[in-house]
Structure 1
Amino acid sequence: MQSDNPFRTLQNYRAAFLRQDFPAGISVFLVALPLCLGIALASGAPLFSGLVAGMIGGIIVGLLSGSEVSVSGPAAGLAVIVADAIAKIGSYEAFLAAVVIAGLIQLLLGLLKAGRFSSFFPDSVIKGMLVAIGLVIILKQIPHALGRDNDYEGEFEFAQLADGENTISEIYRAIETASPGAVLISALSLAFLIIWERTAGRSNRTFFRNFPGALIVVFIGIGLNEFFRTAMPTWYLGDTAHQHMVQVPIIAAGKSPFSIFDFPDFSVLANPQVYFIGITIAIVASLETLLNLEASDRLDPHRRVSSPDKELIAQGIGNTLSGMIGGLPVTSVVVRTTANIYSGSRSRMSSVLHGIFLLVAVFLGGPLLNLIPLSCLAAVLIMVGYKLAKPKIFKSIYKDGRTQFIPFIITVLGIIFTDLLIGIAIGSVVGILFVLYTNFQSTFSVTRVENKVLILFEKDLFFLSKPQLKDALRSLRPGDEVIIDGSRAQFIDHDIYHILLDFKDTAQSQGIRYELRNVELNVQPKKAPKLVPAME
């Protein structure tokens, strides 16, 4: 059950929940760690800023979220916007002021109940988004699995700004330059994860279901790479030109732990550009969050319904705090959320735990985490991607008919070959057009018995029904007796009304008897009769 009190669930946690949320939190942490660093790098921001955003997204937004399974953090979809904004406004500290403004705007949107707009996205587009993200995860992780790390972790765009390649050409380059050590680590990690999941599905032992296989994969990766260091130095992954390892920044000896934080420069509030940047971030971050919330509800095995307004409030508070202490903008993120759900999460505690693990990683675990090869984490992400884009999903949606499949597949292709937001925009336009097309195919019926024809308006008629109505009128034959009945229509569009009036002259010239019944321009809805209370 949802509650207005975000701490109610914490008060009612049971050991059974924690047994599932703790390993899920570890799995999400392992997925989120390289993504936080990669997105910060792509944004032209300090590396710590991605980790700070991950902590805020996990702990603060996780506690206040409108969803039990959504996980928030820095988003790849905002990387280009952030990099451009930092360059325009002059410094990262000045940019942080815009993040604070964005958070306050999101908070206001949540209070104004703007989250309801998430319901306007067609179902086929949401399904297409999930499948496309799964495919993009697989395609983007193949180079990392092969040891090529020219492109940063977490990028979703087809055209790669980091190295001038695209998703397809990057895979080709990775095959050309494949590292034997990375290939062996990723192949063994992937094989282990497949066996582990099959065993967990068939076994009654709680160990397999509750212990995170991703953690064992990390140990496999570290162990193999350390073996390569001593026994097969040419396969070792720590000495390559582009360090094929997690790279958590280490706080220098003697420096305060608070030295990692940056603080906003509010002197730029006199510059109108900072407000434009803040509004842009708020709109894009809110859109990504609402889309992911719709998607996470579909993936949630317990079918809980999230509150989009509560989520916007949580994101607003999270972005305000993130901007105040040097973090990147925060959104609900599909990759982390999917990893969370497929790792068996039961509640928001897994998101909070992943944020706590990021906090520990920054202050205590950097040297150990920097031993993790990216190739073993790539295997974890490839498994997440496969679960989102299983072949049976394509078959299922294809069976739903072309009105569902065409918007779905266009959304998938749009996201793969452009980016997340553009692909969703293209898919949404196509989806809405199909909804309109389907809706206006059945606005009226035509019944013919010999030369008697009844054209009955089944519902309101708008201008989009003009082609079908003209075809029906053109099909009438000399000698027909035609009745146009509009009694079921509460609204008749101006264009429709005048087509019907103009056809009177055509009917007369063709020898057609033509009668309009209850056909009026802009018919108003009929008032329901007042109900009289029953006598006791």
Structure 2
Amino acid sequence: MTLKHVNKDFSAGLAVFLVTLPLCLGIALASGAPLFSGLLAGIVGGIVVALLSGSEVSVSGPAAGLTVIVFDSIQRLGSYPNFLTAVVLAGVIQFLLGWLKAGRLSSFVPSGVIRGMLVAIGIVIILKQIPHALGWDADYEGEFEFTQADQRNTFSEILEALNHPHPGAIVISVVCLGLIVWWDYSERKEIQFFKTVPGGVMAVLVGVLLNQVFKTGLPELSLKESSHLVRVPMIRDWAEAKAAFNFPALEILANPQVYLSAFTLAVVGSIESLLSLEAADKLDPQRRISSQNRELKAQGIGNVVSGLIGGLPLTLVAIRTSVNIYSGGQTRLSSFIHGLLMLLAVILIPQWLNFIPLACLAALLISVGYRLAKFEIFQKMYREGPDQFIPFIVTVLGIVFTDLLVGLTIGLIVGIVYIIYTNNLSAISVGRDKETVLIWFKKDVSFLNKAHLKEVLAALKPGDYVFVDGVRAQFIDHDIFTTLEEFQADAPLRGIQVEFKGITRRKISNRKNNAILQKTIISQ
């Protein structure tokens, strides 16, 4: 961590802090956990994980993707202290996964799926913040699922918000969004003041000021209800401070369910963290490459600390990371500052934080969502071809219409299937010149290529002369070899002449004498 970019990192950390605060509270509420547990997880994610992480721009904290798992685990284990034991164990498992270098598995995720995840997150941010911008805040801040707990979905919630608009919230969100757009435009014009002071922070300050003006002169426009404002739990004395912390219950270790919950949290949290890390590296303007294994260890230690003091499980979070990057964050110092600000604000000025309207935070998040989901990204992915666009668009639709983890799973499955499909088609090439047919293996062929090969062989006609070239294939699977062997035997009956070159069952290299042991049908 360096102080070279302290000005940019501080302003970015401040912007992330303002956005993170209501998200932490909302996720805790949705998880059925104490509200303060969300704040504790956010503080640990900012201070502890930021110091240990290998990523310079990522931000960790409680994640919406774990809310269902957390809620079910608390119910299954019987109490929140029992659940905290599972969080600590999950952290230990994550650390071991990092030590075993399991982080490299994220490298096998197709880039189209990662890009689709980023765009989908941007779309979901915009859709989920529209009700807050309109002043209809029936659901918690940070919700990500398409089907909501109140039996509505993302789109029906927007329609409901349009039927119950709050004029004051609309004014605040429109003014703040306009301010952010103008600020970004002025920053691109290289005006130093706008490059130094973050537009997101100014939008929040303007939102607070507008609401206070409404309270004084236009009370019908002011946002008074707690559902329209940030609501940080107040700690007024030592008794309330002690009550804010929960600690793991060791007696639950005798219950096998705690280990199942710990394993589930560790695996799901690790997957979300690793994929978000890949996304963060793609968003990083400096294109720095982060260590996946170091990140797993950092997340593991963070979860151990969070569980020990009563916090929710945490992951690397793409939304907060995006806010950090687009607010100008340069190093891990910005994430550390956001965690430190959360700690100080909760202790010293919680009553001030409760003046912040959710409408101005909605404007900030909508601007981030737009940057993640620009139409130009869809055009770029389309131009890159079906092998990139299909997994990309499936991931986008999957996340928007389900949730992050389910959508990613759908996108990953489609991406892998599409890669296997295109790889199979490209492994075998066919050329025809009148009755002469050339079939050549451009790379290794396995049983996955068998269906395509059989189609090619079935399409041959009587009188064809077929030359099959397998020189470029270092490995030919037994199923492929058997198919060709059967074809060679049946070819005379079909009036087809066949010649093979380099078609072998397998090739084994001996370093000492460089001999090649092979079973050959016909070799030239």
State the TM-score, normalized to the length of structure 2. 0.95
Secondary structure of 2:466's partner?
strand
**1:482 shift after superposition:** 2.1
Amino acid at match of 2:210: L
Query: Which residue is equivalent to 1:490?
Result: 474
Query: Which residue is equivalent to 1:193?
Result: 180
Note if contact 1:490-1:526 (Cα within 8 Å) is conserved in structure 2: no
**1:89 shift after superposition:** 0.9
Amino acid at match of 1:192: L
Amino acid at match of 2:21: L
Note if contact 2:91-2:266 (Cα within 8 Å) is conserved in structure 1: yes
**1:440 shift after superposition:** 1.3
Amino acid at match of 1:158: F
Query: Which residue is equivalent to 1:455?
Result: 439
Query: Which residue is equivalent to 1:308?
Result: 292
**1:516 shift after superposition:** 2.9
Equivalent residue in structure 1 for 2:335, among 351, 365, 372: 351
Equivalent residue in structure 1 for 2:494, among 503, 510, 520: 510
Query: Which residue is equivalent to 2:428?
Result: 444
**Counterparts of 2:137 and 2:127, CA distance in 1:** 13
Secondary structure of 1:442's partner?
helix
Note if contact 1:30-1:214 (Cα within 8 Å) is conserved in structure 2: no
Secondary structure of 2:228's partner?
coil
Equivalent residue in structure 2 for 1:231, among 217, 226, 234: 217
Note if contact 1:27-1:215 (Cα within 8 Å) is conserved in structure 2: yes
Structure 1 residues 364-410: Cα deviation after superposition (integer angstroms, max 9, x where no partner): 11010001110000000001100100110000000011111111111
**Counterparts of 1:43 and 1:530, CA distance in 2:** 65
Note if contact 2:439-2:469 (Cα within 8 Å) is conserved in structure 1: yes
**1:530 shift after superposition:** 7.7
Note if contact 2:90-2:266 (Cα within 8 Å) is conserved in structure 1: yes
Query: Which residue is equivalent to 2:123?
Result: 135
Amino acid at match of 1:322: S
Query: Which residue is equivalent to 1:3?
Result: none
Higher alpha-carbon deviation: 170-179 or 478-487: 478-487
Equivalent residue in structure 2 for 1:56, among 32, 44, 50: 44
Structure 1 residues 324-382: Cα deviation after superposition (integer angstroms, max 9, x where no partner): 00000010000100000011111000000000010011101101000111000000000
Higher alpha-carbon deviation: 223-232 or 355-364: 223-232
State the TM-score, normalized to the length of structure 1. 0.93
**1:196 shift after superposition:** 0.5
**Counterparts of 2:463 and 2:473, CA distance in 1:** 27
Structure 1 residues 134-170: Cα deviation after superposition (integer angstroms, max 9, x where no partner): 0000000000001111110111100111x22110000
Query: Which residue is equivalent to 1:435?
Result: 419
Query: Which residue is equivalent to 2:163?
Result: 176
Amino acid at match of 1:69: V
Query: Which residue is equivalent to 1:327?
Result: 311
Structure 1 residues 492-516: Cα deviation after superposition (integer angstroms, max 9, x where no partner): 2222222212223432112222233
Note if contact 2:435-2:464 (Cα within 8 Å) is conserved in structure 1: yes
Query: Which residue is equivalent to 1:209?
Result: 195
Note if contact 1:106-1:316 (Cα within 8 Å) is conserved in structure 2: yes
**Counterparts of 2:216 and 2:243, CA distance in 1:** 36
Secondary structure of 2:239's partner?
coil
Which residues of structure 2 form unaligned runs of 5+? Answer: 515-524
Structure 1 residues 46-105: Cα deviation after superposition (integer angstroms, max 9, x where no partner): 111000000000000000001011100000000111111111111111110110000000
Amino acid at match of 1:211: V
**1:474 shift after superposition:** 2.6
Query: Which residue is equivalent to 1:478?
Result: 462
Amino acid at match of 1:118: S
Note if contact 1:490-1:525 (Cα within 8 Å) is conserved in structure 2: no
Note if contact 2:471-2:503 (Cα within 8 Å) is conserved in structure 1: yes
Amino acid at match of 1:308: Q
Note if contact 1:507-1:513 (Cα within 8 Å) is conserved in structure 2: yes
**1:529 shift after superposition:** 7.4
Mapping 1:287-298, distance limit 5 Å: 287-298=271-282
Note if contact 2:88-2:303 (Cα within 8 Å) is conserved in structure 1: yes
**Counterparts of 1:496 and 1:367, CA distance in 2:** 72
Structure 1 residues 148-199: Cα deviation after superposition (integer angstroms, max 9, x where no partner): 11110111100111x2211000000000000000000000000000001110
Rate the CA distance shift 1:304–1:44 in 2: closer, same or farther, 3 A: same
**Counterparts of 2:34 and 2:513, CA distance in 1:** 66
Mapping 1:204-283, distance limit 5 Å: 204-205=191-192, 207-238=193-224, 240=225, 243-253=227-237, 255=239, 257-283=241-267
Rate the CA distance shift 1:122–1:199 in 2: closer, same or farther, 3 A: same
Equivalent residue in structure 1 for 2:60, among 42, 57, 72: 72
Note if contact 1:135-1:385 (Cα within 8 Å) is conserved in structure 2: yes
Amino acid at match of 1:230: T
**Counterparts of 1:445 and 1:525, CA distance in 2:** 25
**1:221 shift after superposition:** 1.3
Note if contact 1:157-1:419 (Cα within 8 Å) is conserved in structure 2: yes
Note if contact 1:145-1:183 (Cα within 8 Å) is conserved in structure 2: yes
Rate the CA distance shift 1:376–1:304 in 2: closer, same or farther, 3 A: same
**1:216 shift after superposition:** 1.5
2:111 maps to 1:123:
yes
2:26 maps to 1:38:
yes
Rate the CA distance shift 1:62–1:101 in 2: closer, same or farther, 3 A: same
Rate the CA distance shift 1:456–1:254 in 2: closer, same or farther, 3 A: closer
Amino acid at match of 2:302: G
Query: Which residue is equivalent to 2:89?
Result: 101
**1:228 shift after superposition:** 1.7
**Counterparts of 1:478 and 1:216, CA distance in 2:** 78
2:383 maps to 1:399:
yes
Rate the CA distance shift 1:39–1:490 in 2: closer, same or farther, 3 A: same
Note if contact 1:23-1:343 (Cα within 8 Å) is conserved in structure 2: yes
**Counterparts of 1:256 and 1:433, CA distance in 2:** 54
Rate the CA distance shift 1:213–1:436 in 2: closer, same or farther, 3 A: same
Secondary structure of 1:154's partner?
coil
2:513 maps to 1:524:
no
**Counterparts of 1:406 and 1:270, CA distance in 2:** 47
**Counterparts of 1:320 and 1:183, CA distance in 2:** 42
Note if contact 2:85-2:248 (Cα within 8 Å) is conserved in structure 1: yes
What is the number of equivalent residue pairs in this alignment?
514
Q: RMSD value over aligned CA atoms?
A: 1.5
Secondary structure of 2:152's partner?
coil
Note if contact 2:31-2:70 (Cα within 8 Å) is conserved in structure 1: yes
Amino acid at match of 2:152: E
Seq. identity, %: 55
Note if contact 2:41-2:313 (Cα within 8 Å) is conserved in structure 1: yes
Note if contact 1:457-1:488 (Cα within 8 Å) is conserved in structure 2: yes
Secondary structure of 1:488's partner?
coil
**1:321 shift after superposition:** 0.3
**1:254 shift after superposition:** 5.1
Secondary structure of 2:315's partner?
strand
Equivalent residue in structure 1 for 2:154, among 159, 167, 189: 167
Note if contact 1:160-1:167 (Cα within 8 Å) is conserved in structure 2: yes
2:136 maps to 1:154:
no
Rate the CA distance shift 1:516–1:150 in 2: closer, same or farther, 3 A: same
**Counterparts of 1:414 and 1:433, CA distance in 2:** 16
Structure 1 residues 196-247: Cα deviation after superposition (integer angstroms, max 9, x where no partner): 1110111331x21121222221221111111222222222211x3x531000
2:347 maps to 1:363:
yes
Equivalent residue in structure 2 for 1:318, among 296, 302, 322: 302
Note if contact 2:173-2:363 (Cα within 8 Å) is conserved in structure 1: yes
Amino acid at match of 1:361: A
